[in-house]
Structure 1
Amino acid sequence: MTTKQHTITAPVTVSGVGLHTGVVANMTFLPAPPNHGIVFQRVDLPDQPTVEADVDYVVDLSRGTTIEKNGARVNTVEHTLAALVGLEIDNVLIQLDGPEPPIMDGSSIEFVNALQSVGVEEQNALRDYFEVPEGIFFKDEERNVEIAALPLDDYRLTVMVDYNSPVLGSQHASITNIGQFVPEIASCRTFCFLHELEYLYKQNLIQGGALNNAIVIVDRIVKDDELAYLADLFKQPKIEVKSEGTLNNVELRYKNEPARHKLLDLVGDLALVGRPLKAQILAARPGHAANIGLAKKIKKIMKEQSRKAIPTYDPRETPVLTAQQIYQRLPHAYPFQLIDKIIHLDETTVASVKNVTFNEPFFQGHFPNNPVMPGVLQIEAMAQTGGILVLGTVPDPENYWTYFLAIENCRFKKMVVPGDTIIFKCELLAPIKRGIAKMHGQAFVAGNLVCEAVMSASIVRKS
């Protein structure tokens, strides 16, 4: 598993019909900066709204996973997301001029091929893995579905399916690391049973379905008049049944291709937790509803950990922003540039490092014989850390100032002295509105909380 974030080197477009909507669409993958994440944009709608690939925005699970935010609705995102996870691509903007990504051949392989054609490049930011801390379980007794996420320092998935069908029987598929996804899973196509076809079509689903973008499993005797009806329904000159039990002589790419496709769907759905995972996933008879059920449980624990977590600092790792890069965004000069590195930065949280030395200018007067870092400067360093987070929400941070509006519930827990390394963490308490940000800031030394405060700030464009 890679330690740095990645994006693609150039835009690339795929085109085709959507499986369920039947609408032809062009989907363009564009490079994106570090910590951008995976974001869809409906360029065919007014104001071209965006929706992040996030489980919080899942609105429908009818034979696929649909997300929506601010009017930007995108159907059947799982095959696209699976391709990105399989290639370990973290940051990309996906522009779509229709309601649904193209189904292509019913798998992820054509997305993978397109992305590989332009290449993947490493970015100067660390991947923010979520390591599952303990067993996380989802169970649907009515559907006899069970999924577990267990601690593991890697990403491993195993899927078992049992359709009580003489054609499919019981199948399982697994990968022991994400590097196996592209060669072993990405080309496995979506499928359904013959008896589901007419029902799905009449429910306004699979409107873009065709016999070249899905496997249709036939697990019963089919009369000629029914085949003729289906041929007319799907505008095909003729439909035949292969002896193994698939329509139109479709050759399976693997004997267990349905199970492998279920694993593909699981990878894509779990991408909606918003961070790369380190976990072992064990799934029995999974489907989109169960996958998203587990993803929501993982996301909830992620949020809880984020509120409690003390950032870790490894001086051997390349920082997200160096002191010089901080200065370019937040132009405080000596002696008021009070943070040395940014070690974590995402949409809601930032962490920085301050190495406190005996040569700090404030120790000349506070106090010469008992050097203690002033509390007000700890808050200032915390505010500078939060400023980096706030400025990250605008495309041209060099053209903005950040100003304090309020400090609440400020507490100092322990003195900070020369030789200490302070880790500051700031987390947004609510989305930024009208240029106003409110965040909870904390400072830690050797794992101990030394100060905390709730800070409000405004972001103002330079005149």
Structure 2
Amino acid sequence: MNDKQHTIKAPVTVSGIGLHTGVVSNMTFKPAPINHGYKFQRIDLPGKPIVAADVDNVVDLSRGTTIEQNGARVNTVEHTLAALVGLQIDNVLIELDGPEPPIMDGSSIEFVKALHEAGFQEQNALRNFFEIPQGLSYKDDARGVEIAALPLDDYRLTVMVDYNSPVLGSQHASITDLEQFEKEIAPCRTFVFLHELEALFKQNLIKGGDLDNAIVIVDRVVQDDELTHLSELLQKQKVEVKEEGVLNNTELRYRNEPARHKLLDLLGDLALIGQPIKGQILAARPGHAANIAFAKKVKKMIHEATIKNVPTYDPKKKPVMDINQIAATLPHRYPFLLIDKIIHLDETTVMGVKNITMNEPFFQGHFPGNPVLPGVIQIEAMAQTGGILVLNTVEKPEDYWPYFLGIDKCRFKRKVLPGDTIIFRCELLAPVKRGIAKMSGQAFVGGQLVMEAEMSASLVKKDA
């Protein structure tokens, strides 16, 4: 999986009819900046409102996923989003001059081709993965649906479908690497059972449905008068089925194409969580309603993890250690004493504060004209915060040197700028043994994680 965020190099447009609205529209993918995510813009409406691809904006799940925001609605977004996720593109503005993306051939492959034409652009920011921390499940007994997520340092999906159909039977599809998406999943088309067509037309859906953009599964014997009626509904001169199988004898691109398309839908729906995932997703008989319900559970887990882990800072409260007390504990001095306050300290956890100002000496030489706090300074400040914690484990901290031994799993999530206040939190991963400490550390600005790492340090007596 890509570690850095990506967008596209240039705008690219696809055109066609919408599956359910039957409205012809033009959809243009446009490059977008870091941390923009996926957003649709209805340029045909007054004010050109933007609709964020967010699970909280889902308003309808009638045979597709529809989102709405700022008075604008976008129908059937899942195939478009699946293409972006499958190609590991993070930031795109999707302009649309109609209510629904074009259905194209019923799959994501035409979007994939267009995005390749636009080209991919790596961006100078890491992807903000949410790593599933423990098992999470969703179940709908009435529909026989089960979806689960398990921890994994990758993104894999497995789908099982069983429609009690003599034609389809039980089918499985899986993707163990997003690099497989373009070839194995993107070309798989949407499908519908013959007995569902009439009901869908009565619900005012599939106005743009055609045998060129959907597979119609025939799982029973069809009489001539019904075929005539179907040809009228589909506005075709003639439809036929020589045997139980697929209407007009359309050839499947894969033996398990329906299951693969269900995986495509799941991938697109889960994009509405709003950030890339690391985990194993297992789904039995998924559909849009279940996908979105599960996506909401994942987003809730992200929210709870964020609330739990984000430290709070009240500058009006007296700190545990002010700068004079810190200077009496740490041996560092200007310009290398980087912590202004300690606001929490116990046996296993410490929290420190650093206020970033333009007066910091390194800003004059590090990216002049673009005052970005150097990553090495963030690491050193976090290490000094951790040093306070480690020194707190001995009786006479002034008798010890806290030496930084190593760093692992360091990730920078966002830029830190003058005017920001960083809150560092370090926590012991295990009790200090023989003077060696291992800690996890996080840095937050405005409630958002900007950096994280695991560190090790050593306490050495000054007279040793």
Report deviation, 1:262.
0.4
| Cα offsets for 1:397-437 (capped at 9, x unmatched) | 99xxxxxxxxxxxxx9997999899x9x999xxxxxxxxxx
The residue type paired with residue 443 of structure 1 is F
Q: How is 1:180-329 mapped onto 2 (pairs within 5 angstroms)? A: 180-309=180-309
Residues 1:360 and 2:341 aligned together: no
Which ranges of 4 or more aligned residues in structure 1 deviate by more than 4 Å? 412-421, 445-455
Report deviation, 1:243.
2.4
The residue type paired with residue 247 of structure 2 is L
Contact 1:373/1:415 (8 A) holds in 2: no
Q: Partner of 1:329 in structure 2?
A: none
Contact 1:172/1:259 (8 A) holds in 2: yes
Residues 1:172 and 2:146 aligned together: no
Q: 1:73 aligns to what SS in structure 2?
A: strand
Report deviation, 1:452.
9.9
Contact 2:4/2:125 (8 A) holds in 1: yes
Contact 1:415/1:450 (8 A) holds in 2: no
Take 1:62 and 1:134, find their aligned partners in 2: how far apart are those partners? 31
Q: 2:247 aligns to what SS in structure 1?
A: coil
Take 1:451 and 1:285, find their aligned partners in 2: how far apart are those partners? 41
Q: Partner of 2:146 in structure 1?
A: 146
Gaps of 5+ in 1: 312-355, 364-370, 385-396, 399-411, 428-438, 456-463
Report deviation, 1:444.
2.3
Take 1:127 and 1:453, find their aligned partners in 2: how far apart are those partners? 17
Residues 1:444 and 2:455 aligned together: no
Report deviation, 1:306.
1.6
Take 2:19 and 2:117, find their aligned partners in 1: how far apart are those partners? 24
Identify if the C-alpha distance between structure 1 residues 173 and 372 changes in structure 2 by more than 3 Å, giving closer, same or farther: closer
Take 1:289 and 1:40, find their aligned partners in 2: how far apart are those partners? 21
Q: TM-score, normalised by structure 1?
A: 0.72
Report deviation, 1:210.
0.5
Take 1:84 and 1:374, find their aligned partners in 2: how far apart are those partners? 44
Report deviation, 1:248.
1.3
Q: Partner of 2:23 in structure 1?
A: 23
Using the aligned pairs only, state the percent identity.
65
Identify if the C-alpha distance between structure 1 residues 451 and 46 changes in structure 2 by more than 3 Å, giving closer, same or farther: closer
| Cα offsets for 1:365-411 (capped at 9, x unmatched) | xxxxxx973579x7672799xxxxxxxxxxxx99xxxxxxxxxxxxx
Q: How many residue pairs end up in the alignment? A: 367
Residues 1:381 and 2:355 aligned together: yes
Q: Partner of 2:57 in structure 1?
A: 57
Q: TM-score, normalised by structure 2?
A: 0.72
The residue type paired with residue 373 of structure 1 is D
Take 2:444 and 2:104, find their aligned partners in 1: how far apart are those partners? 52
Q: How is 1:109-124 mapped onto 2 (pairs within 5 angstroms)? A: 109-124=109-124
Contact 1:14/1:26 (8 A) holds in 2: yes
Which is higher, the Rg of structure 1 or of structure 2?
2
Report deviation, 1:41.
0.5
Identify if the C-alpha distance between structure 1 residues 451 and 211 changes in structure 2 by more than 3 Å, giving closer, same or farther: closer
Contact 2:8/2:120 (8 A) holds in 1: yes
The residue type paired with residue 302 of structure 2 is M
Take 1:358 and 1:16, find their aligned partners in 2: how far apart are those partners? 65
| Cα offsets for 1:121-147 (capped at 9, x unmatched) | 111000111110111100000001001
Report deviation, 1:206.
0.4
Report deviation, 1:234.
1.5
Q: Partner of 2:155 in structure 1?
A: 155
Identify if the C-alpha distance between structure 1 residues 194 and 382 changes in structure 2 by more than 3 Å, giving closer, same or farther: farther
The residue type paired with residue 180 of structure 2 is Q
Q: Partner of 1:402 in structure 2?
A: none
Take 1:65 and 1:239, find their aligned partners in 2: how far apart are those partners? 29
Q: Partner of 2:317 in structure 1?
A: none
The residue type paired with residue 279 of structure 1 is G
Take 1:2 and 1:199, find their aligned partners in 2: how far apart are those partners? 43
The residue type paired with residue 444 of structure 1 is R
Identify if the C-alpha distance between structure 1 residues 304 and 222 changes in structure 2 by more than 3 Å, giving closer, same or farther: same
Gaps of 5+ in 2: 312-329, 344-351, 359-369, 372-384, 392-400, 405-409, 415-419, 428-438, 448-464
Identify if the C-alpha distance between structure 1 residues 21 and 374 changes in structure 2 by more than 3 Å, giving closer, same or farther: same
| Cα offsets for 1:114-169 (capped at 9, x unmatched) | 00112111110001111101111000000010010111111111111000111111
Contact 1:414/1:450 (8 A) holds in 2: no
Take 1:442 and 1:116, find their aligned partners in 2: how far apart are those partners? 41
Take 2:201 and 2:131, find their aligned partners in 1: how far apart are those partners? 41
Identify if the C-alpha distance between structure 1 residues 266 and 420 changes in structure 2 by more than 3 Å, giving closer, same or farther: farther
Take 2:214 and 2:186, find their aligned partners in 1: how far apart are those partners? 14
The residue type paired with residue 62 of structure 1 is S
- Aligned alpha-carbon RMSD (Å): 3.5
Take 2:302 and 2:181, find their aligned partners in 1: how far apart are those partners? 25
Residues 1:87 and 2:87 aligned together: yes
Identify if the C-alpha distance between structure 1 residues 78 and 375 changes in structure 2 by more than 3 Å, giving closer, same or farther: same
Take 1:137 and 1:115, find their aligned partners in 2: how far apart are those partners? 33
| Cα offsets for 1:164-202 (capped at 9, x unmatched) | 111111111111111111110100000000111011011
Take 2:90 and 2:331, find their aligned partners in 1: how far apart are those partners? 37
Q: Partner of 1:72 in structure 2?
A: 72
